[in-house]
Structure 1
Amino acid sequence: MSADQLPTTSREVRLASYPEGEVTLDHFELAESELAEPGEGQVVVRNDWMALGSVALDQMNPDTTLPIPVFQPGVALWGRTVGTVVRSNSPALAVGDLVEHFSGWRDYAVGAAHEFYKRDRSLLPSPEYFLSQGPTAWHGMVETAQVKEGDIVFVSGATNGVGALAGQIARLHGAAKVIGSTGSKEKIDFLVKEVGFDAAFDYHDGPVAEQLAALAPNGVDVVFDNVGGEQFEAAVQIASRGARFALCGALAGQHGNGGSPRLPLMSAITKDLTLRGFATMHTPEQLDGWNARFGTWLADGTIVFPHTVVEGGVPALPQAFLDLLDRRYSGTVLVRLGG
């Protein structure tokens, strides 16, 4: 469809109501909105790919303690997206430009040009690669945990988009061994055979501390924690003296899983552990730096981009999100919207 053949409406997914328990399809509403003509300084973007993340669950909670904006009932949700400019009233962006933005969960986005970040298509193999969670993985593993040559690394929740890249980044920085935790035999095979982890275990198979100790008998030097709960506690127990923890997420406490982490304080003190939480809010320049680095690694085969593609466009988003919460996917979850 050319810019001159744009539809008059755009499909979007709205929050129907705040969930009081498990999220279901009833909490979403598929609707159509008028596709407005862009005003002065505005553009129309066809959304091509959207990344799904579990943080949207917290954004459905009006009482969340996280410092993030909360979705509003009756209003379209939003999320990280890449798309193509199909109409422009701004000198900053031209028709055909690839842009990244946060007005996902819809077919088209209309807004001021400065709300859309131009991306260089030549850096990566395909537009959806710009939605990797590599910036978060890099920030946590390199800048927060300061992984170095010879480290024994443990990544909890390693099958998700952040964890799978964090483990690979650790290997590229000389880690001697990278261990991951996950939730099934199939995902163990995914981490070891496809992603390149040295070892992985299923946290369902027994006490995490025992499984981790068996794979890291001399302790772990770096922990990239996506989970919290028992896995965080086990990592503190097994950690070597001076180990560095990058605290990325707390999946054990989401979606009714319980498991708020307890900090074995004396172990952390006597082992001289460094525990640092982090959030990734990079500048466009930093993101460009990551994308250039990522593209080089992909081209020479030193890294892979673990991701799952969901077809079906905007109508498929609610079910894909529920499947994400049920941990049915591996790697970054990408929904093909258009293009």
Structure 2
Amino acid sequence: MTNIPLTAREVRLLRYQSGPLKAEHFEVIETPVPSLGPSQVLVRNRWFRISISTRLMAEAGAVTVKGIPFPPLKPGDTLADGAIGEVVQVGPGTSLEVGNLVLHPLGWREYARVPAAQCKRIEGPNVDPAAWLGHGWTAYAALVGGIQVRSGDTVFVSSGAGAIGSMAGQIARLLGATRIIGSTSSAEKARWMQQELGYDAVVTRDGAPICEQLTEAAPDGIDVIVDMVGGDQLAAALEISRHGARCVLLGAVSAELNPSNATLRAPVELDTFQLILRGVTIRGFSADEHAPELFDAWISQAATWQRAGRIQLSRTMCKGLDAATLALEQACAGQLKGVVLAELESC
């Protein structure tokens, strides 16, 4: 039986920020462990996800955004994000049991009071948190349900070292694509993407103009665009897209990590006449909204690919709540790779 303490720690927004998000904008506080009501469970968190979308939701005037699985933050609010933890106490009216491992939306705290309806039970003793909390399933759903990758495709993935991009390139290859091109912020990340993730070529923001780099990397054009950035990267990829190309929009990092302030606006100028002539398809896609049924399929497929040594679930791990705020700052500054996860010590 797990001993439940009287108090536990959590991370709260200390004040609104303008410009880059810093660890100093948050505080780790100790608060009473919450009591339970009907159909609620108390979960001791083991891992939680650290998302760059926190920057957007920590801005003054932030609003609820479909596709971001946590609400806007006000000073004094506890942060939230996907988490995995062990049920240590159950309220009346729930089928969950003490000892169950569950996926739920209330990370950034040691103990979470969660409505049982928001918990997804995880079966089996061996859990890879990067499979359950990472955005591999977002990439999988986009490439299977949003658009379809075909054998022989050339695929461009923007922000290829990030939580989605580090998975999208690998998954596209496994689905039949023959040339995978990515973008990232630095030569160091580009080398990592090629050596560890199998990208054939990588363009960087600190190199020549993106359009020139892409034309050299994909002289015959691009069939599939998986975009997390927007702006000039999206425009450049569409400019050299082939007839019948498919583009899926999964994010807009250029807006979320805008140097002056996070925003919901990511304007870009496109030559739509050429897109019409080439029969290019552009689709905005949210895995949570458009293909939630593919989550279980992703977990099963990821396990199969892992056993065969065919996929790497890239992650950056940090230990404890105190390290998590710095990891958030580093993630928003583009310094980390893959999905960023915090691991909490066992109680």
Output the TM-score relative to the length of structure 2.
0.90
Distance 1:94 1:86 in 2: 8
How far has the Cα of 1:114 moved from its partner? 1.8
Per the alignment, residue 289 of structure 1 pairs with 297
Give the secondary structure class of the aligned counterpart of 1:234: helix
Q: CA deviation at 1:112?
A: 2.7
- Residue 218 of structure 1 aligns to which amino acid in structure 2? D
Conserved 8 A contact 1:191-1:197: yes
**Letter of the aligned partner of 1:159 in structure 2?**
A
Cα distance 1:202–1:284, how it changes in 2: closer, same or farther (>3 A)?
Answer: closer
Instruction: Indicate the SS of the match to 1:281.
Output: helix
Q: Secondary structure at the match of 1:49?
A: strand
Structure 1 stretches of at least 4 aligned residues deviating more than 4 Å after TM superposition = 282-285
Displacement of 1:241:
1.5
Pick one of 108, 129, 133 that aligns with 2:111. 108
Structure 2 counterpart of 1:268, which letter?
L
How many angstroms apart in 1 are the aligned matches of 2:172 and 2:221?
16
Instruction: Please give the alpha-carbon distance, in whole angstroms, between the structure 2 residues aligned to 1:154 and 1:247.
Output: 12
What residue identity is the alignment partner of 1:175?
Answer: A
Equivalenced residues, count: 335
* Residue in 1 that maps onto 2:263: none
How far 1:181 sits from its partner (Å)? 0.9
Equivalent pair of 1:199/1:215 in contact (CA under 8 Å): yes
Conservation of the 8 A alpha-carbon contact between 1:82 and 1:128 = no
Q: CA deviation at 1:85?
A: 1.1
Question: Alpha-carbon deviation of 1:284?
Answer: 6.7
In structure 2, how many angstroms separate the alpha carbons of the residues matched to 1:23 and 1:332?
Answer: 18
Which residue of structure 2 aligns with residue 24 of structure 1? 22
Are 2:78 and 2:108, in contact at CA under 8 Å, matched by a contact in 1?
A: yes
User: Aligned ranges for residues 227-266 of structure 1 at < 5 Å?
Assistant: 227-257=229-259, 260-266=267-273
Match of 1:306 in 2: 314
Identity of aligned residues (%): 36
State the match for 1:155 in structure 2.
157
1:125, CA displacement in angstroms?
4.9
- 1:151 touches 1:221 (CA, 8 Å); kept in 2? yes
Query: Structure 2: how far apart are the matches of 1:179 and 1:299?
Result: 26
Q: Deviations over 1:195-243 (max 9, x none)?
A: 1122212221111111111111010000001111111110011111121
**How big is the shift at 1:62?**
4.3
Does the 8 A contact of 1:49 with 1:338 survive in 2? no
Give distance in 2, aligned partners of 1:217 and 1:127.
38
One-letter amino acid of the structure 2 residue matched with residue 77 of structure 1: L
2:345 corresponds in structure 1 to 338
Choose from 36, 40, 57 the match for 1:59: 57
Q: Runs of 5+ in structure 1 lacking a partner?
A: none
CA RMSD of aligned residues (A): 2.0
SS in 1 for 2:324: helix
Q: 1:51, CA displacement in angstroms?
A: 1.0
Query: Amino acid of the residue matched to residue 236 of structure 1?
Result: L
* Letter matched to residue 45 of structure 2: N
Distance across 1 between alignment mates of 2:162 and 2:108: 21
Match of 1:204, SS?
coil
Unaligned runs of 5+ residues in structure 2 are 261-265
Bigger mean CA deviation after superposition, 15-24 or 92-101 = 15-24
